[in-house]
Copies of this chain bind each other. A is one copy, B any other.
Amino acid sequence: MTLNPADAAFRSRLSADLPDEVFRPVEARYLEEPRGRYAGAQALLAQPRTTGEVATLIRHAGEAGVGVIPYGGGTGLVGGQIASEGTAPLILSLERMNKVRDVFPDENVLIAEAGVILADVQAAADAADRLFPLSLAAEGTARIGGNLATNAGGTGVLRYGNARDLCLGLEAVLPDGQIWNGLTRLRKNNTGYDLRHLLIGAEGTLGVITAAALKLFPKPARSGTALLVVDSPRAALDLLSLARAQLGEMVSAFELMHRQGFEFLTETGLDVRLPFDTAPEWCVLIDVGLSGDLNPEAALEALFVAANEAGIVPDGIVAQNETQAAAFWKVREMLPEANRRIGSVSSHDVSVPLSAIPEFIRKGGDAIAGIGEFRINCFGHVGDGNLHYNVFPTPGKSRADHENQRPAIKAAIHDLIHEMGGSISAEHGIGRLKVEDLEHYGDPAKLSAMRAIKAALDPKGIMNPGAVLRA
């Protein structure tokens, strides 16, 4: 599909229906993304204030055949927010649609516009004595519309699910400019195809989410955190089973970390450290949120004792207060920054069936060793089978020294993941970075259904062209 540029002629057509203040100069931040792999060029920037204005913009873009890039917080890691090729698009930023429209504490529902920053959604829930459990590193910048469009994951998935599981209803503008009023607060509603789940995870290629009805949860009465040393990834899984047997769904987070990450923290001068004399090879950061009168420290101590007796956990510390818990989490949260400073040769956001994790880590290490000498920092949301498997140069070398090996590394990891029934994009999505990977590894029947749906809902191909599916 050939698209037309968002040029002066297009701008003047928009002027007939929209006031000047909807348009802003395109600052550099709209043309960059966190990993610096994609850079946009010319574009027209619109910052609509209402759903009606979004609909007007989309309708004009459709009539003129101009591409539309929906823009949330810009924190995506796969280039879904940057059109780096082709004709100048309309960047449609939702940042001025940033109101929490309503909170219904008795219903455990919050209605937010797409441009509300994730941390502000969390704060609004907290103010109503409720929990909005979506939590991820970029929460101070990411906006809820983007979180939903990409079906964001994060550290709360084990207990509360992905972004899609936290959404009851959507308001969205479809590619033909129609507004879908699907902003229901209902827990049960079986009236036709689930457009909500189709738009969630479609990364803006089937329409623009303008608002969402989000699920809130009772706040756990008390929370607790522990850092438990495990001998191996297998032991981490055994610990997870034990934790669930003892604590059911009250296990809120279960994060695996490797010594390589702790060494990176030191190497890059980040002032966070583990509360162990010697950094363990593997450890697990576990959070529990308990109801009623349960005591989290006692529950975690009981888990620690049982795991120790079972030979799974040789060492560990249960946080005795919130400050200590925050210090443990700080280590986990700084790992991505340490990784950034070291500079990965290749990063992989992958998942495998839970029980296949030890085999994946072993075979992955062997495959990388066969390609060259590298350091591997493998960490992540092990309770969800989701690992961030990142490959780094050895000390003294840099990312640039290994440019020619990157394709082999990526292929080795993705082939292994595919063989093991895993996903080449567990939580970051496809964006523009993994379009070819999806074509290569994706199920052919699914891909042809996706293309048919895209063509049916967006026949001119204006919505986020080139993301998810080849334009």
Using CB atoms and an 8 Å cutoff, list the residues of chain A in contact with chain B: 104, 106-107, 109, 150-151, 153, 157-158, 161-162, 164-165, 174, 176, 178-182, 184-195, 197-198, 200-202, 206, 217-218, 220-221, 237, 241, 244-250, 291-292, 294, 299, 351-355, 381, 384-386, 421-430, 434, 438, 441-450, 452-453, 455-457, 468-469
Q: Cβ of A153: which chain B residues have Cβ within 8 Å of it?
A: 188, 190
A23 to B264, CA, bound (A): 65
* A351 adjacent to B188 (CB under 8 Å): yes
Candidate in A181, A299, A443 with the most chain B CB atoms within 10 angstroms: A443
Q: Cβ of A237: which chain B residues have Cβ within 8 Å of it?
A: 106
Residue in B190, B294, B427 whose beta carbon sits within 8 Å of that of A430 in the complex: B190
* B443 adjacent to A247 (CB under 8 Å): no
Residue in B164, B178, B192, B221 whose beta carbon sits within 8 Å of that of A468 in the complex: B192
* A190 adjacent to B246 (CB under 8 Å): no
* B422 adjacent to A186 (CB under 8 Å): yes
Minimal Cβ-Cβ distance residue in B for A469: B192
A352 to chain B, nearest CB (A): 7
Residue in B188, B218, B385 whose beta carbon sits within 8 Å of that of A423 in the complex: B188
Given contacts A193-B201, A445-B178, contact A187 B384 (CB under 8 A): yes
* B424 adjacent to A249 (CB under 8 Å): no
* B450 adjacent to A188 (CB under 8 Å): no
Minimal Cβ-Cβ distance residue in B for A250: B291
Q: Cβ of A107: which chain B residues have Cβ within 8 Å of it?
A: 353-355, 385
Q: Cβ of A446: which chain B residues have Cβ within 8 Å of it?
A: 180, 182, 192-193, 195
* A206 adjacent to B193 (CB under 8 Å): yes
A439 to chain B, nearest CB (A): 10
Extra contacts besides A186-B352, A217-B249, A220-B248 (4): CB < 8 Å? A180-B443, A185-B353, A187-B351, A187-B384
* B442 adjacent to A218 (CB under 8 Å): no
Q: Cβ of A164: which chain B residues have Cβ within 8 Å of it?
A: 194, 197
* A381 adjacent to B452 (CB under 8 Å): no
Query: What are 8 pairs between A and B in contact, CB < 8 Å?
Result: A151-B194, A188-B351, A190-B429, A191-B442, A192-B468, A195-B449, A248-B292, A249-B249
Q: Cβ of A452: which chain B residues have Cβ within 8 Å of it?
A: 456-457
A450 to chain B, nearest CB (A): 5
Residue in B174, B190, B351, B468 whose beta carbon sits within 8 Å of that of A427 in the complex: B190
* B248 adjacent to A425 (CB under 8 Å): no
Q: Cβ of A442: which chain B residues have Cβ within 8 Å of it?
A: 191-192
A450 to B180, CA, bound (A): 12
Q: Cβ of A176: which chain B residues have Cβ within 8 Å of it?
A: 448
Given contacts A188-B385, A352-B186, contact A180 B449 (CB under 8 A): yes
Name the 7 nearest CB pairs between A and B, nearest first.
A197-B197, A248-B291, A456-B456, A178-B445, A189-B423, A180-B445, A188-B426
* B386 adjacent to A188 (CB under 8 Å): yes
A39 to B35, CA, bound (A): 61
